[in-house]
Chains A and B, each alone.
Chain A
């Protein structure tokens, strides 16, 4: 158990809908990262938040957004869903001392999103 929790575990929805994925980082970790794992794209970094502020952006679509709240939990919002958004979405957290270079990331169990 990494200490990172994600809810829900599974989510089934229809095209055009909007969903919210939730992540609670390990106690004491200030950084939250979101990743998408799909068969065709592999594991891709989406976005990072550090202590409530957006720090880095990866291959995140404009239909997707995220935020980190004062209690450090984070939510990933996916809107106007398409079939191709079906994937496993991971959240990871790290303590992020010294700008992140030496900090390993601890991954949650993931949320499996199925868009029908």
Chain B
């Protein structure tokens, strides 16, 4: 069985400061891990994905995430937040248990203040 836990439901940062969105996962197999972003009244956009290659994954818009197997974590970071980063972020796990369908976390709402 697989699951994903996003440790913070809301995160607030000031513009220009670092962003950290935390995610822990569990999976019986070697998982694929993703971060998706959803802007208000918009669909879901893939930020980045981990599929057992490099453990540090770079995504779009300056985001990156590090896969740490020993900690079963896949935290999302960005060195400097921009106002346009305000959105809902979803950590996602998939493995062969679900036929590689995506199992979403509850989401973290990122607020960026001026």
Within 8 A of B (CB), among A24-55: 33, 35, 42-45, 48, 55
**Of all chain B residues, which has the CB nearest A58?**
B101
Per-position binary interface string of chain A over residues 78-111, scored 1 when its CB falls under 8 Å from any chain B CB and 0 otherwise: 0000000000001010000001111111111110
The one of B36, B45, B100, B107 that contacts A101, using a Cβ cutoff of 8 Å: B100
A66 to chain B, nearest CB (A): 13
**Of all chain B residues, which has the CB nearest A96?**
B100
A71 to chain B, nearest CB (A): 22
What residues of chain B lie closer than 8 Å to A44, measured between beta carbons? 104
Cα distance A102–B90 in the bound complex, in angstroms: 18
What residues of chain B lie closer than 8 Å to A58, measured between beta carbons? 98, 101
Indicate if the CB atoms of B44 and A104 lie closer than 8 Å: no
Give the interface size class of chain B: 20 to 34
**Is B43 part of the binding interface, using a Cβ–Cβ cutoff of 8 Å?**
yes
On chain A, the number of residues with a Cβ less than 8 Å from chain B's Cβ atoms is 25
What residues of chain A lie closer than 8 Å to B44, measured between beta carbons? 90, 92, 107
Indicate if the CB atoms of B43 and A42 lie closer than 8 Å: no
The one of B46, B96, B102 that contacts A99, using a Cβ cutoff of 8 Å: B96
Indicate if the CB atoms of B102 and A105 lie closer than 8 Å: yes
Indicate if the CB atoms of B43 and A104 lie closer than 8 Å: no
Indicate if the CB atoms of B42 and A35 lie closer than 8 Å: no
B90 to chain A, nearest CB (A): 7
B58 to chain A, nearest CB (A): 15
Cα distance A92–B34 in the bound complex, in angstroms: 14
> What is the interface of chain B, defined by CB distance below 8 A to chain A?
32, 34, 36, 42-46, 49, 51, 90, 94, 96, 98-107
